[in-house]
Structure 1
Amino acid sequence: MLTTDFVPGTPNWIDLGAADTDAAVAFYAAVFGWTFQSAGPDAGGYGFFQRDGGTVAALGPLTEEGASPSWTPYFHTRDADATAEAVRRAGGSVRVPPMEVFTAGRMAAFTDPMGAEFAVWQPGDTKGVDTVMEPAALCWTELYTTDAAAAKDFYRSVFSWEYQDMDTGGGPAYAVVHAPGGGTGEETGQGGILELPEENLAAGSGPEWHPYFGVLDCDASFATATDHGATVLIPPSDIPGVGRLAMLKDPAGAVFALITGDPSRT
């Protein structure tokens, strides 16, 4: 499961790019009770979603040409430049070269060979988010991809991830992502990789990462989200041994999921 004892290759930050940041603040405040704190006048509108005084995610305006509203996971690295080179060698592309973010740390953003976007964070003063695995905080990261085998090879090359292939009973291929070097026990599960079935591709789905946020009551949070303009992708559903989850698009189109339970028990 996720922790804030960040090691290389584990999620340590998550942010939302939005065309209308005020609308995003209002929506996520309604769903999760988050407040927003600006990073300051020199941050270009970037700031932090907070709950109970701790940062759980971040928000900024869209800055890349042609970008759509979306959530981006960041994975811990000790050397953003070395990770950028590893991405290139493995067939990915560098969208944002490694750069300093004041004294907070160093970041870079990439696209994997199938087209999913992700980023890395090399900590400085800011180590990462303050809270995970709690209500209204990040609990899981999941990749939808057109080629799960190729995705697994790519991220193994870049982050040294380990995988546990799951028996889906004839459903789409799914692998649990485990922190590097820790084996494939439940305590190291941090996310999943799912190969998109043909019906999803036909409906317009494509490669992307999205976050799962914990909630105390999946149905109640789902109702709040839809009441405030979210679009339903997966209605509240029970996952045996895991919990209850739902997936939505926020009013601007960014995909996220709700979960009551622990997805690392997949």
Structure 2
Amino acid sequence: MSTKISKWPAGTPMWVDLSVDDVEAAKSFYTKLFGWDYLTGEGDYLLAHIGGHAVAGLGPKLDPAQPSAWTTYLASDNVDATAELIKAAGGQLLVPPFDVMDSGRMAVAADSVGAAFGIWQAGNHIGAERFNEHGSLCWNELHTHDYASARAFYAEVFGFAYHDVDGEDMVYSTCLRATDGREVAGMHYDTELPETMPDYWLTWFASDDVAATACQAEQLGASLLMPVSSTPFGRMAIVEGLQGDVFGVIAVAPANS
């Protein structure tokens, strides 16, 4: 079991939440898929838990016209200062900084290539408290049309350096956290991303049996955008949930699925 009790270092993707039209339907789907249970947060927002530790959030869309989607949040020691860096680097604030009671302070932004993400300054809520295990967050990666611009933006705002990952017909790098050089996220030049589709951050959840998780998702009415595949990074699949919410599942070590 991997747990976290203190705030995440700045620049770390440390929380994800899902905005949907039908929160109860999403709650039922993810409960059956990952075994989550829930506590009520602020308003209609739900905190998903595994074994009493927070792993993700579920809530209603603020704008019904927006698609259902998982949002990746990056940790910040000062959301207001990070918001200014975002604007200076060519991004924009979609939701300016505000306090979430005593849980923390947050904002939602779009980077210089149009991908939406959140920033979170921890108060009582540090973000994910369990990770890298079945049903919990294990990786976040940006899929982009403009690889060079995206790398420049996150280097300027969060101080990322990059490690290029070799792969046939793939341009990919891992994002190295400024404080310690640890790999905390990925960046993918996605040549299959339609020009009409905006750049986006993809959430990956860990699975101790990817094939079984993918099968269960399909039985619950979801579809596979990428079938279960063996890759150099592990066994994985990409799922589209019942309301169009897209996420990945990937094997945790030791992989046996």
TM range (shorter): over 0.9
Name which of 207, 224, 237 aligns with 1:215. 207
Separation in 1, partners of 2:165, 2:234: 17
Name which of 221, 234, 237 aligns with 2:229. 237
- Which residue is 2:248 aligned to? 257
Q: Shift in Å at residue 94 of structure 1? A: 0.1
Is the 1:162–1:178 contact (alpha carbons within 8 Å) kept by the matching residues of 2?
Answer: yes
Q: Which residue identity does 2:252 align to in structure 1?
A: G
Separation in 1, partners of 2:203, 2:30: 14
Name which of 26, 29, 34 aligns with 1:27. 29
Q: Shift in Å at residue 54 of structure 1? A: 0.9
Q: Shift in Å at residue 36 of structure 1? A: 1.9
Is the 2:108–2:117 contact (alpha carbons within 8 Å) kept by the matching residues of 1?
Answer: yes
- Which residue is 1:112 aligned to? 111
For 1:251, what is the secondary structure of its paired residue?
Answer: coil
Separation in 2, partners of 1:13, 1:154: 20
- Which residue is 2:77 aligned to? 78
Separation in 2, partners of 1:217, 1:205: 31
Is the 1:3–1:133 contact (alpha carbons within 8 Å) kept by the matching residues of 2?
Answer: no
Q: Which residue identity does 1:189 align to in structure 2?
A: E
Is the 2:9–2:179 contact (alpha carbons within 8 Å) kept by the matching residues of 1?
Answer: no
For 2:194, what is the secondary structure of its paired residue?
Answer: helix
- Normalising by the residue count of structure 1, what TM-score does the alignment of the two structures yield? 0.90
- Which residue is 1:193 aligned to? 187
> Which sits farther off after the overlay, 18-27 or 223-232?
223-232
Separation in 2, partners of 1:123, 1:32: 25
For 1:229, what is the secondary structure of its paired residue?
Answer: coil
For 1:222, what is the secondary structure of its paired residue?
Answer: helix
- Which residue is 2:38 aligned to? 36
Separation in 1, partners of 2:64, 2:118: 17
Separation in 1, partners of 2:216, 2:76: 36
Superimposed CA distance per residue, residues 85-120 of structure 1 (whole angstroms, 9 cap, x where no aligned partner) = 000000001000000000111000001121111011
| Runs of 4+ more than 4 Å apart | none
Aligned Cα RMSD in Å?
1.6
Q: Which residue identity does 2:17 align to in structure 1?
A: D
Q: Which residue identity does 2:116 align to in structure 1?
A: E
Q: Percent identity?
A: 36
Separation in 2, partners of 1:218, 1:230: 15
Q: Shift in Å at residue 64 of structure 1? A: 3.1
For 1:201, what is the secondary structure of its paired residue?
Answer: coil
- Which residue is 1:13 aligned to? 15
Q: Which residue identity does 1:15 align to in structure 2?
A: D
Q: Which residue identity does 1:179 align to in structure 2?
A: R
> Which sits farther off after the overlay, 88-97 or 242-251?
242-251
Q: Which residue identity does 2:214 align to in structure 1?
A: F
Separation in 2, partners of 1:156, 1:200: 23
Gaps of 5+ in 2: none
Q: Which residue identity does 2:160 align to in structure 1?
A: W
Q: Which residue identity does 1:124 align to in structure 2?
A: G
Q: Shift in Å at residue 66 of structure 1? A: 2.6
Q: Which residue identity does 1:17 align to in structure 2?
A: S
Q: Shift in Å at residue 261 of structure 1? A: 2.9
